[in-house]
Amino acid sequence: MAENTEKRARHVAIIMDGNGRWAKRRMLPRAMGHKRGVEALREVVRGCRDLGLECLTLYAFSSENWKREEEEVDDLMNLMRKFIKSDLPEFIANDVKLKIIGDWQGLAPDIVEMLEDALEQTSKGTQTVAVALNYGSQQEITRAATKAAAAGDVTEASIAAHLDTADLPPLDLLIRTSGEVRLSNFLLWQSAYAEMLFVDTLWPDFTVEHLKQALDNFAGRERRFGGR
Ligand code: FPP
């Protein structure tokens, strides 16, 4: 996988965690936490334009999130529908190219249709926002390895070329909010040499200022990619 040896991050990924705890602390329903989570997401996408990032990848719904109460899953799906409808024009106006990673064809047919339309309408964008939907990294690697095997070429390069992220820049920095320190089946292959940052801020409280601080932190790190 290509290495970014610059101090400036090209590709940042975020595990947006802590919506539930944000709501609980305020005695609000979990749905309110997710709603505020979408608002944080919108502000971060808006702000990352000025930060010169080529790609921002966001973990919005994992393949394991189906295990949650039906009501919460429905809330998340409805937020997704609303978000695509309300924010697609802004994505287009701001030259954002939407990308979806994960087994998103497995979502409800109306969402799949909305996403296909959004992908098409943003295809000329210059800055990529990749959203992980029905995403699991082990499943992604398994799919990629299966395709590599079918092509008779099981090598690192060919597996990487079949990952959902194949056309994205190498991952530089992975951020997880809310104080949890784990990857939760997100971008396992892509994180091989990514820098990690775990912050205590709950996702609904995360702002562009936090992202700027994260990028400053990244710029101060020495990356050796296994060399010396
Ligand atoms: C983790 O918080 C967050 C999620 C499972 C979903 C993240 C989704 C959003 C920010 C909004 C939906 C996205 C779109 C594209 C509309 P948690 O519920 O696990 O929080 P907790 O650990 O505090 O309970």
Q: Binning pLDDT at 50, 70 and 90, where does residue 112 land?
A: very high
Closest residue by Cα to atom 8, ligand 1, is 60
Query: What's the CA-to-centroid distance between 166 and ligand 1, angstroms?
Result: 25
Every domain of the chain and the residues it spans: 11-219
Cβ distance 13 to 186 under 8 Å?
yes
Cβ distance 56 to 48 under 8 Å?
yes
pLDDT in tens, 142-174: 999 999 999 999 999 999 999 999 999 999 999
Query: What's the CA-to-centroid distance between 216 and ligand 1, angstroms?
Result: 25
Closest CA to 175 of 91, 22, 92, 53: 53
Cβ distance 204 to 142 under 8 Å?
no
**Mutation choice for ligand 1 from 15, 26, 34, CB with most ligand atoms inside 8 A:** 34
pTM: 0.96
Query: What's the CA-to-centroid distance between 163 and ligand 1, angstroms?
Result: 24
Query: What's the CA-to-centroid distance between 53 and ligand 1, angstroms?
Result: 23
For residue 105, the tally of other CB atoms under 10 A from its CB is: 12
Crossing angle of helices 70-93 and 30-48, in 10° steps, is 20
Write down the number of H helices and E strands in the chain. 7, 6
State how beta strands 195-198 and 173-176 pair: parallel
Instruction: Give me 189's structure tokens.
Output: 């292959």
| Whole-number Å distance between alpha carbons of 36 and 38 | 5
Q: What's the average model confidence in pLDDT over 62-80?
A: 97
11-219 CATH fold: Undecaprenyl pyrophosphate synthetase (3.40.1180)
Can you spell out the DSSP letters for 10-45? SEEEEE---HHHHHHHTT--HHHHHHHHHHHHHHHH
Phi, psi of 84 (to 5 degrees): -60, -45
Atom of ligand 1 at shortest distance to CA of 80?
16
| Whole-number Å distance between alpha carbons of 206 and 164 | 26
Phi, psi of 205 (to 5 degrees): -95, -5
Pocket-forming residues, ligand 1, beta carbon under 6 Å: 16-21, 34, 37-38, 41, 60, 65, 76, 79-80, 83, 131, 178, 203
Residue with tokens 């820098």, as numbered in its chain: 195
Please, what is the average pLDDT of the chain?
96
Q: Binning pLDDT at 50, 70 and 90, where does residue 3 land?
A: confident
Q: 3-state secondary structure string, 192-221?
A: CCCEEEECCCCHHHCCHHHHHHHHHHHHCC
The yes-or-no answer on residue 65 being catalytic is: yes
Atom of ligand 1 at shortest distance to CA of 41?
10
The yes-or-no answer on residue 87 being catalytic is: no
Catalytic one of 4, 17, 75, 164 = 17
Closest residue by Cα to atom 22, ligand 1, is 18
Q: Is the pLDDT of residue 6 over 90?
A: no
| Contacts with 63 (C-beta within 8 Å, 6 or more apart), sequence order | 102, 103, 134, 135, 136, 139, 185
Sign for the pseudo-dihedral over CA of 122, 128, 132, 135: positive
